[in-house]
Structure 1
Amino acid sequence: MRLIRTDSPFALEEFTDHEIPPYAILSHRWGQEEASFQEMIRNEHQQHQNKLGYKKIQHFCARAHQDGFQYAWIDTCCINRESSAELSEAINSMFRWYQVAQKCYAYLGDVDNRSEIPQSEWFHRGWTLQELIAPQEVDFLAKDWGDLGTRTELCDLLEEITGIHKSVLLGSAQLQEFSIAKRMSWAAGRETTRREDIAYCLMGIFNVNMPLLYGEGEKAFIRLQEEIMKDSDDQTIFVWENEEISSDRPSGLLARSPADFENSRDIVPFPFAKNMTPFTVTNRGIRMNSPLLPPNTKKTLLILECFGGAGLVGVELLSQAHGEGPDGQFVRVGKSLRMDIPFNMLSGAALDTIYVAKSFTGSPAKDGTNDDQDESKTGQPYAAISKYNVQPRGHHKKLILCFNEGRGELTDELFQSNVVKIFRMLETAEGHQLSYYQGVDSESDLTTSVTNGYKFITQNYQSDDEISLVGFSKGAYVAQTLAQIVGFVGIISPPGDNQLASTVCKSFEELNELRGAIDGQRKALSLSFMASMRGSFCLPVVVTFLGLFDAVNERSSKKHATKMPVPAHIIPHAVSIDERRAALRLILIPPENNGEDWQDIEEVWFPGTHQDMGNEIPSTANRDAGKLGHIPLVWMVGEATKAGVNFDRRKKKAYGCSASLDIISNNVLVADSDGPIRSFAEALYNASTQGVIHDPLSFDAGWSPKSVCKKRLTEYFLSSTLSRAGPREILADAAVHVSALHRMRADPDYRPPNLTDGQRHQEDRWSVLRNRNDVVGECYVRTVCEERR
């Protein structure tokens, strides 16, 4: 990278990527008499000092030097534009250069005061879009180089001018959180001198790179969209409008310019098809596996996985094939989008594999229609498709039920439990995910909680829906029992019969005594009953995801952990290493014994007690109280995401559960008051090494003296009569989270006896089990040494 010294006389210096010093950067509109790289290296300062461009460099460097910067960067003279290779590298690196600059100065050469800011041509240029978004700080300067205000101070005005959400301008949101259509709309009113640059100036906005080919015209924008599609399945890339398109002048599925997205800023992705094949670019066009309305006709409507506010979004296509059916290539003939397609229009149809041209310049196949009679111009658009009751295979929604220990009040206290946080983070797009929350405060609540959860499922379940359950402690026990009922009995059909739902739950409780272990005659009787119910009244269903935080059975009389098979496909279980109470006997999840490997069960041991696993701690605890419990939360959110549970990206940020975020919300991990806010990985590491382990039997952990005394009496009775006290048994092949090793290495006194056998040196006793170098999912297993065998 080449920088200019801010002290006179100006001189250019080159730096490798690892040597770049702090620098300021300029954002401006190119004008007349700009100083070039060649003029700077020839040291023709005296000859060119009266040029407008050279004076701009003087003012910029003077301001940067005044603010303490020894180096600066300006695109007019720091790039050798006579070298096509250097120019290509610079344009591909431009977003990053603005991103890592200490400060950006945006020079508005046509503005004298704040009131004139909205009229500045700076907001209409393509390159200045990334120069507004990428930098850490932006100071706006007037024509006389006086201050107009910072990006933060002018945030509301800038949002009104540009349409860019203030969370982007303030740096509190990531670009990837916004749809492709939304980001394209930011560039809709902008222009560049060369046609190709309208594509090149957006590479940083979409985090892609591609070679520069000046002379290719609008093909550059097609190439940009192809690069975006390589890493994104966001179908809003297809939601654009162009008045020039018709059956006589068809188009491909890709837009010709960002201007086509001007009216698409509010369209959002809305996945509705289960296991849909991703769209891909082939030599026949863009291959898609999507519903068509009506199917098997030459002119049809392609339904995209997008929501337009009033319904799903569709694009009108015309088949180029001879004859009927979707086998040939399609072109786009609709100039406008349909943004009000009802969800019930999807009921019953299969997905069609089609190929749509990327761009199109040939003559369309005749469809026998006249555009003057096109449905989109009549008062009844697409009235012909109303007779179709279509739905792509796999159309489904997700039912997500969360069960928490305690009264489970959804308060806004600082230390919310992990289950409450998961419930709050769930995405709640209309019809896509339905969520349910229940607190389980006592043993008597178990039956009621199971029954209420089962009623919620039976009232809302439709064919192909997915069921996910999350629970902590007693809530985990409820979630496991509910998964057993769903798996062993099924879901009553037709839905909505609450009395029958109550009968199913009550009968299951009586036969199973709310336990998973059933023997001999009782097992045979239970299976006979469940088979009868399943065959007569119920649909066979298996829970997709069962997320557990330290599942326990408080009524078990056994010293060792209970093993409770549960019929669910994906079962992550966060287990406490340091819990010792006799009242809480761990439930482990063995695979279903049916001879098939159909379950993905991950039981991972984390540092902390039972209360830390659920982050169910008193609000009176100290400021570091929530740190240790945050680690299993982040892990569980990651596992749920992989299983298809959708979380609101902004809420994930608020709760510090996104690995792409460097800023951790104060209600999860609080930075030291005298230090910088930690990165995501650093925050997790510090949580593992510094987070408080909460012992509910201790008087200084935040619980009331009455509560502590009650728990101590219970422990004294159980320990003396049943000999159940002591650390939990951890098998040699158990998965131990990396946070436990971090804590042992950082704290010589942290040596859990169920992990270390009292040995202080543990570095050579562990090997990576899975997810190496993954700060969230890395797990270890103990290495069995020869002397210990």
Structure 2
Amino acid sequence: MKRLFVCCDGTWNSDSDEFQGVPVPTNVVRFFNALSEHGDDGVEQLRYYHAGVGANEGWLRRLIDGAIGLGLSRDIRTAYKWLSDHYEEDSEIFVIGFSRGAFTARSLVGMLHHCGLPHEATWALVKQAWNLYRLDPKVPENLIRQERFRIENGKPPPVRFLGVWETVGALGIPEIVNLFGLGRQRFEFHDTTLSPEVERAAHGLAIDEQRNNFLPTLWTDEDGCDPARVTQVWFPGVHADVGGGYKETGLSDATLKWMIGEAAQYGAVFESEMLNQIANAGPLSPSAVHGVLHNSLTGFYRKIGFRPRSFPYLVKSSRRCSESISDLALARQASPPIFQAPYRPNIDPAAAVQVRVFASPLWNWTGIFMKEGVRYRFKVPEGQTWLDGDSASGAEGTPGNWAQRLFAWPKRVRGANWFELCGAISYPGQPGEAAVPPQPFYFRIGREVEIKAPYSGYLYCFANDATWAYWNNQGSLRVEIKESDGLPTGKGAAYAPSDEDLTAPATAPGGSGQGQPS
């Protein structure tokens, strides 16, 4: 018997990553390093680590590989070959990954499900398995060919544990790759659903990541909602706060300790001296609760668009399918660090509350979690205005001049006035084509409206403007919000957003752009 560990790192990540001469490994590297060579029971633990796509390459190859995923297919085949060389009938398989490496890990498990695992396969047989894996599963003949390969070469092995941090984008492929259909066409055949061979799966997710090309790919099918097999936990932080890779490791130490604990429950054995180094990284430890939450909305990423993620209600025992909120997130909410306060406070609109909506952010966090089927009344007290450049308007906005009326397409909510107060519910919904999460549900507010929430999710508000024109917006409005049992009034029109809405930046929690009680 052996335990086999396949560890797949994220794009451009490797075990030699440094920042200003200081090592900044991801959690995949640290998980790999912490593994013991043998378990307490004497069982041998064999480890395989694969650097991320584009790592250890020249700058041009690094850029191309990272942008469109070249090399990812090679990584999956190489890991498949390693498993084939070392797997025995009673071996236990553990697969770990982060970011694009999480996609690699999940796709590797999908390949095992569809093609089985030959013993000591030649590279030619690996290529044959790969070509079969790429076949369209909706064609019955393809399923027959895969089954024949499994019968002749080896059945799918059980996977003891599948642990990933932050599987991102459409089937794990960042949204920006799909600009000309490149990413989706190349990778849509990969199967990242939860295979029946997986005994336990764990997924760590970042509450505060807002980049469009890092939208998470969760397990959302029937198998993915089985809490006995799957846990998907939301942690405070952005992408690399959860998966590791920053110099400051307060948050990523906690997510590493969580994943190690999950894997240990299923037999993985780690070096005690290594574990002692993160012994104080529990969900209530000050180093984790008050750890640095980094800003990923910088440089190029700020230019290509942002939107808030949909996550469950930030309260104790909140669940959505197999998703839950980490104790670390709730502890940070209750006791935020002095240098990054507040942290996503909840506001209960059961009694009338007031939030401040600023004109300059594309998304204002309100802290209100709207519940499906519940009515909410919005009202903006008279006498308030905000500025679009030098033009003042109230919450009802303005139709604009003749040019603005003629060229209304840049507006985020096209059926609403320019600078009209609008709302959006960030809800999970069913993933669209290639597992892309749905856009938020948009609705008009204006001066006053009452709506029945069609989905559950956090409420964001904004001034309706062109997505690139918020830099010259000024001012704010005080908005009264209350749960209501009355009949609907006002416009309250829902809006089916266009692709343009995908470029709407989000405001990070905290700071002047955050809607707060006033």
* TM-score tier after normalising by the smaller chain length: 0.5 to 0.7
The aligned runs of 1:39-118 (5 Å cut-off) are none
On the 8 A contact 1:604/1:737 being kept in 2, the answer is yes
Does residue 531 (structure 1) correspond to residue 147 (structure 2)? The answer is: yes
Number of residue pairs the alignment of both structures matches: 312
In the aligned structure 2, how far is the partner of 1:422 from the partner of 1:476? 14
CA apart distance, 1:684: 4.7
Q: For residue 751 of structure 1, what is the aligned residue in structure 2?
A: 344
Does residue 444 (structure 1) correspond to residue 54 (structure 2)? The answer is: no
Q: For residue 28 of structure 2, what is the aligned residue in structure 1?
A: 419
On the 8 A contact 1:580/1:728 being kept in 2, the answer is yes
The aligned runs of 1:601-612 (5 Å cut-off) are 601-612=230-241
CA apart distance, 1:448: 1.0
> Which amino acid counterpart does residue 750 of structure 1 have in structure 2?
Y
Instruction: Select the residue among 2, 6, 9 that pairs with 1:404.
Output: 9
Partner-residue secondary structure (3-state), 1:587: coil
Does residue 738 (structure 1) correspond to residue 327 (structure 2)? The answer is: yes
CA apart distance, 1:563: 10
Instruction: Select the residue among 686, 692, 695 that pairs with 2:295.
Output: 695
CA apart distance, 1:752: 7.4
Partner-residue secondary structure (3-state), 2:268: coil
- Relative distance call for 1:788 and 1:500 in structure 2 (3 A) is farther
- Relative distance call for 1:740 and 1:503 in structure 2 (3 A) is same
Which deviates more from structure 2 when the two are superposed, residues 540-549 or residues 404-413?
Answer: 404-413
Does residue 728 (structure 1) correspond to residue 300 (structure 2)? The answer is: no
In the aligned structure 2, how far is the partner of 1:583 from the partner of 1:593? 26
On the 8 A contact 2:207/2:309 being kept in 1, the answer is yes
Q: Deviations over 1:656-685 (max 9, x none)?
A: 1x4xxxxx5xxxxxxxxxxxxxxx65x853
Partner-residue secondary structure (3-state), 1:586: coil
In the aligned structure 2, how far is the partner of 1:537 from the partner of 1:431? 26
Instruction: Select the residue among 184, 195, 201 that pairs with 1:571.
Output: 201
CA apart distance, 1:498: 2.4
On the 8 A contact 2:346/2:368 being kept in 1, the answer is no
In the aligned structure 1, how far is the partner of 2:106 from the partner of 2:84? 17
- Relative distance call for 1:505 and 1:741 in structure 2 (3 A) is same
In the aligned structure 2, how far is the partner of 1:755 from the partner of 1:501? 56
- Relative distance call for 1:525 and 1:548 in structure 2 (3 A) is farther
Instruction: Select the residue among 457, 466, 473 that pairs with 2:92.
Output: 466
Q: Say what the alpha-carbon RMSD is for the aligned residues.
A: 3.5
CA apart distance, 1:751: 1.4
In the aligned structure 1, how far is the partner of 2:80 from the partner of 2:116? 10
On the 8 A contact 1:727/1:753 being kept in 2, the answer is no
In the aligned structure 2, how far is the partner of 1:484 from the partner of 1:754? 42
In the aligned structure 1, how far is the partner of 2:216 from the partner of 2:70? 20
The aligned runs of 1:497-512 (5 Å cut-off) are 497-508=122-133, 510-511=134-135
Aligned residues with identical type, % of pairs = 25
Q: For residue 434 of structure 1, what is the aligned residue in structure 2?
A: 46
Q: For residue 358 of structure 1, what is the aligned residue in structure 2?
A: none
Q: For residue 213 of structure 2, what is the aligned residue in structure 1?
A: 583
On the 8 A contact 1:730/1:755 being kept in 2, the answer is no
Partner-residue secondary structure (3-state), 1:638: helix
Q: For residue 316 of structure 1, what is the aligned residue in structure 2?
A: none
CA apart distance, 1:649: 1.2
On the 8 A contact 1:545/1:571 being kept in 2, the answer is yes
In the aligned structure 2, how far is the partner of 1:435 from the partner of 1:465? 13
- Relative distance call for 1:525 and 1:752 in structure 2 (3 A) is farther
In the aligned structure 2, how far is the partner of 1:728 from the partner of 1:484? 26
CA apart distance, 1:599: 5.8
Q: TM-score under structure 1 normalisation? A: 0.36
- Relative distance call for 1:563 and 1:463 in structure 2 (3 A) is closer
Instruction: Select the residue among 168, 173, 190 that pairs with 1:554.
Output: 173
> Which amino acid counterpart does residue 497 of structure 1 have in structure 2?
T
Q: For residue 633 of structure 1, what is the aligned residue in structure 2?
A: 256
On the 8 A contact 1:406/1:440 being kept in 2, the answer is yes
Q: Deviations over 1:101-126 (max 9, x none)?
A: xxxxxxxxxxxxxxxxxxxxxxxxxx
CA apart distance, 1:577: 0.5
Give 5+ residue unaligned stretches, structure 1: 1-395, 513-517, 620-624, 659-663, 665-679, 699-707, 720-724, 763-780
Partner-residue secondary structure (3-state), 1:433: strand
The aligned runs of 1:568-717 (5 Å cut-off) are 568-590=198-220, 600-617=229-246, 619=247, 625-654=248-277, 656=278, 658=279, 681=282, 684-698=284-298, 708-709=299-300, 711-713=301-303, 715=304
Q: Deviations over 1:59-111 (max 9, x none)?
A: xxxxxxxxxxxxxxxxxxxxxxxxxxxxxxxxxxxxxxxxxxxxxxxxxxxxx
In the aligned structure 2, how far is the partner of 1:753 from the partner of 1:506? 50
On the 8 A contact 2:99/2:166 being kept in 1, the answer is yes
Partner-residue secondary structure (3-state), 1:479: helix
Q: Deviations over 1:216-235 (max 9, x none)?
A: xxxxxxxxxxxxxxxxxxxx
On the 8 A contact 1:426/1:647 being kept in 2, the answer is yes
Q: Deviations over 1:729-783 (max 9, x none)?
A: 1245331001111111223522179999955699xxxxxxxxxxxxxxxxxx999
Partner-residue secondary structure (3-state), 1:540: coil
> Which amino acid counterpart does residue 342 of structure 2 have in structure 1?
D
In the aligned structure 2, how far is the partner of 1:689 from the partner of 1:432? 36
On the 8 A contact 2:14/2:52 being kept in 1, the answer is no
In the aligned structure 2, how far is the partner of 1:470 from the partner of 1:758? 33
Q: TM-score under structure 2 normalisation? A: 0.54
On the 8 A contact 1:565/1:592 being kept in 2, the answer is no
- Relative distance call for 1:752 and 1:538 in structure 2 (3 A) is farther
In the aligned structure 1, how far is the partner of 2:149 from the partner of 2:348? 45
Who wins on radius of gyration, i.e. which is larger? 1
CA apart distance, 1:453: 0.3
Q: Deviations over 1:541-590 (max 9, x none)?
A: 121100010111225569xxx99422111001001101111111211113
> Which amino acid counterpart does residue 652 of structure 1 have in structure 2?
L
Partner-residue secondary structure (3-state), 2:48: strand
In the aligned structure 2, how far is the partner of 1:554 from the partner of 1:409? 19
> Which amino acid counterpart does residue 286 of structure 2 have in structure 1?
N
CA apart distance, 1:598: 9.9
Partner-residue secondary structure (3-state), 1:616: coil
- Relative distance call for 1:526 and 1:758 in structure 2 (3 A) is same
> Which amino acid counterpart does residue 692 of structure 1 have in structure 2?
V
Q: For residue 34 of structure 1, what is the aligned residue in structure 2?
A: none
The aligned runs of 1:25-424 (5 Å cut-off) are 396-411=1-16, 413-424=22-33
Q: Which has a greater percent of helix?
A: 1
In the aligned structure 2, how far is the partner of 1:564 from the partner of 1:755? 37
Which deviates more from structure 2 when the two are superposed, residues 581-590 or residues 459-468?
Answer: 581-590
> Which amino acid counterpart does residue 533 of structure 1 have in structure 2?
F
- Relative distance call for 1:564 and 1:611 in structure 2 (3 A) is same
In the aligned structure 1, how far is the partner of 2:268 from the partner of 2:211? 33
In the aligned structure 2, how far is the partner of 1:642 from the partner of 1:432? 17
Partner-residue secondary structure (3-state), 2:212: coil
CA apart distance, 1:533: 1.1
Give 5+ residue unaligned stretches, structure 2: 54-65, 182-189, 314-318, 350-363, 370-455, 459-481, 486-518
